[in-house]
Amino acid sequence: MEMPTEKRYPIVMRDIEEDWRNAEHSMGTSIMAVQFDSGVVVAADSRTSMGAYVSNRVSDKLTPVHERIYCCRSGSAAHTQFVADIVKYYLELHSLELNTLPTVLSAAQLFKTVCYRNKNNLTAGIIVGGWDPVHGGSVYSIPLGGVLVRQPFAIGGSGSTFIYGYCDANYKENMTKEEAVAFCRNALSLAMARDGSSGGVIRTAVITKDGVEREMLPGNELPTFFEQ
Amino acid sequence: MSGVGSGYDLAATTFSPDGRLFQLEYAGKAVDSAGTVVGLRCKDGVVLGVEKVIRSKLLVKGSNRHVHSVDTGMGIAVAGVLPDGRYMVNRAISEAANYKSFYGQPMLGHVMCDRLSQFMHLFSLYGGVRPMGTTVFLAAYDRNGPQLYQIEPSGISQRYFGCASGKGRQQARTEIEKLDLKELTCAQAVKEIARIMYTIHDETKDKPFELEMSWVSDDTGRKHVRVPEEVVSAAVEEAKRAIEEADMSD
């Protein structure tokens, strides 16, 4: 009697994680923006990963789209860079026609239009923060679906899930610049400690009517909390 | 029939040897022979007034609108060929709506002025179309304060404290220059415009007219609306009385 023929399956050696050589550059990320008394602070970690490999440990996720308007990028690095370039282009033309600084709302509206109309083809979670002469400092959040919402502070990226409690408990209205920066650094440090896709340095940009001050806090100087 | 322009005035796309665009000048003449339009930029807003010549006794009062709102805080008065003016108004409405949708906030007055200027100008760049036979008076009240713009068929636009066009523009301008526009309020401006319109209107020579007015001011919540019927009637009564008294004292 013949043995029934078995179906043969090819033998594959594959990582448990997606093969990093072919993985998309993703910014598993921790980003946030906070409105304080005289402006806005935007902050981000610096890790870009391709699967399990950290392809850039010092990336800059804080992208200017105008003199006093920044965006924090999370999701696909390629998608968010492209979207930010488009918005930068339109904002420049807009401010030339207006002959004055554009409002943060206009920038956020442009981001929303691009993200919403192309929602099927984009993975982009963006936080817009800036200062304009009409409304002062403002923060807008545009998560994955393309909804636009204004918030006193916003957090985003994969690392943000770990710090919702911390942020809700520690946010105060009308903080000073120093308080706002410390709030961001503490929050992001906590996120980076727990999220494998976030890490590196903490970059901050403080935006007020007087300009933008950018700083970088190296990994060995991050605020520390409970360490096992 | 050879006139001044002979040969160089057949298309808006043709310059004359002395550098004139005759079609644009003729378009201006269409405006100059139409009803008078006056705009006044006051301390607290902008008021527009139009002399609507009544072509027929059968017309319903208040019809044949010459003043239109194009956005919450912006309005346009049409001087000259009315259908061309409606085309400009529709374009302005569309521009304002698109801008609000794209940038998340209402269009500013000077931006609308630029857009309408560029639009008017288009019609002198291509063959097969003719220039608009209208001068557009744009009233706006935004975060840069009250603004009054005049956009001509050539696309030239200026910002004004007070301006006039149409049959009675020379006399109207003379009257406007007498006013202290820095101190004038919209409520006073309504009366002044009524007075100016009735002063320059010649009872014997000109056809009867209806006065249509609109304003955008602090009192209207910075919304562009028609001046209420009662206010216009009261202003017209006062204007007629003032003119009678002036006549009697001569």
pLDDT, tens digit, 9 for 90 and up, residues A138-151: 999 999 999 999 99
Q: Residue A79: name the closest of A30, A120, A138 by CA.
A: A120
pLDDT per position as a tens digit, B47-105: 999 999 998 889 998 888 999 999 999 999 999 999 999 999 999 999 999 999 999 99
Q: Is the pLDDT of residue B245 over 50?
A: yes
**How confident is the model over A116-128, as a mean pLDDT?**
95
Q: Is the pLDDT of residue A17 over 50?
A: no
Strands of B157-159's sheet, edge to edge? B67-71, B74-80, B134-142, B145-151, B157-159
Can you give the pLDDT at residue B220?
A: 96
Neighbours of B87 (CB within 10 A): 16
Can you give the pLDDT at residue B248?
A: 80
Q: If you measure CA to CA, which chain A residue comes closest to B101?
A: A109
Catalytic residue list contains A103: no
Closest residue to B104, CB basis, from A98, A99, A105: A105
Q: Residue B75: name the closest of B135, B139, B120 by CA.
A: B139
Q: Which segments of A99-200 are extended strands (E)?
A: 124-132, 136-142, 149-151, 153-156
pLDDT range class, residue B203, cuts 50, 70, 90: confident
Can you give the pLDDT at residue A27?
A: 58
Which position among A29, A63, A80, A103 bears the catalytic label? A29
Q: Is the pLDDT of residue B230 over 70?
A: yes
Q: Is the pLDDT of residue A18 over 60?
A: no
Can you give the pLDDT at residue A20?
A: 58
Distance CA B83, CA B86 (A): 5
Distance CA A163, CA A160 (A): 5
Instruction: Using CB atoms within 10 Å of the CB of residue B93, give its burial: 0 to 12 exposed, 13 to 18 middle, 19+ buried.
Output: middle
Distance CA B112, CA B69 (A): 13
Q: Which carries the bigger pLDDT value, residue A95 or residue A25?
A: A95
Distance CA A67, CA A131 (A): 9
Q: Is the pLDDT of residue A16 over 60?
A: no
Can you give the pLDDT at residue B239?
A: 93
pLDDT range class, residue A28, cuts 50, 70, 90: confident
pLDDT per position as a tens digit, B95-134: 999 999 999 999 999 999 999 999 999 999 988 899 999 9
Q: Is the pLDDT of residue A5 over 80?
A: no
Can you give the pLDDT at residue A50?
A: 85
pLDDT range class, residue B223, cuts 50, 70, 90: very high
Q: Is the pLDDT of residue A132 over 90?
A: yes
Gap from B112 CA to chain A (nearest CA, Å): 10
Q: What residues 91-120 of chain B have any CB closer than 8 A to a CB of chain A?
A: 102-105, 108, 110-111, 114
Here the ipTM equals: 0.86
Q: Kindly report the average pLDDT of chain A as a whole number.
A: 91
Q: B-chain residues within 8 Å CB-CB of A113?
A: 102
CA distances from A52 to A25, A27, B164 (A): 11, 12, 72
Can you give the pLDDT at residue B67?
A: 97
Any idea what DSSP says for residue A161?
G
Q: A-chain residues within 8 Å CB-CB of B143?
A: 134
Q: Is the pLDDT of residue A38 over 90?
A: yes
Distance CA B159, CA B150 (A): 7
Gap from A23 CA to chain B (nearest CA, Å): 35
Q: Kindly report the average pLDDT of chain B as a whole number.
A: 93
Interchain pair B103, A106: CB under 8 A: yes
pLDDT per position as a tens digit, A199-221: 999 999 999 999 999 999 999 99
Q: Is the pLDDT of residue A48 over 70?
A: yes
Q: Is the pLDDT of residue A7 over 80?
A: no
Q: Is the pLDDT of residue A4 over 60?
A: no
Distance CA B137, CA B37 (A): 8
Q: Which carries the bigger pLDDT value, residue A121 or residue A11?
A: A121
Q: If you measure CA to CA, which chain A residue comes closest to B107?
A: A98
Can you give the pLDDT at residue B33?
A: 94
Distance CA B172, CA B196 (A): 6
Can you give the pLDDT at residue B133?
A: 96
Q: Is the pLDDT of residue A15 over 60?
A: no
Can you give the pLDDT at residue A185?
A: 97
Instruction: Using CB atoms within 10 Å of the CB of residue A21, give its burial: 0 to 12 exposed, 13 to 18 middle, 19+ buried.
Output: exposed
Gap from A106 CA to chain B (nearest CA, Å): 4
**How confident is the model over A23-46, as a mean pLDDT?**
89
Can you give the pLDDT at residue A10?
A: 56
pLDDT per position as a tens digit, A153-204: 999 999 999 999 999 999 999 999 999 999 999 999 999 999 999 999 999 9
Q: Is the pLDDT of residue A6 over 80?
A: no
Burial A132-159 (b: 16+ CB within 10 A, else e): beeebbbbbbbbeebebeeebbbbbbbb
Interchain pair A105, B105: CB under 8 A: yes
Can you give the pLDDT at residue B1?
A: 45
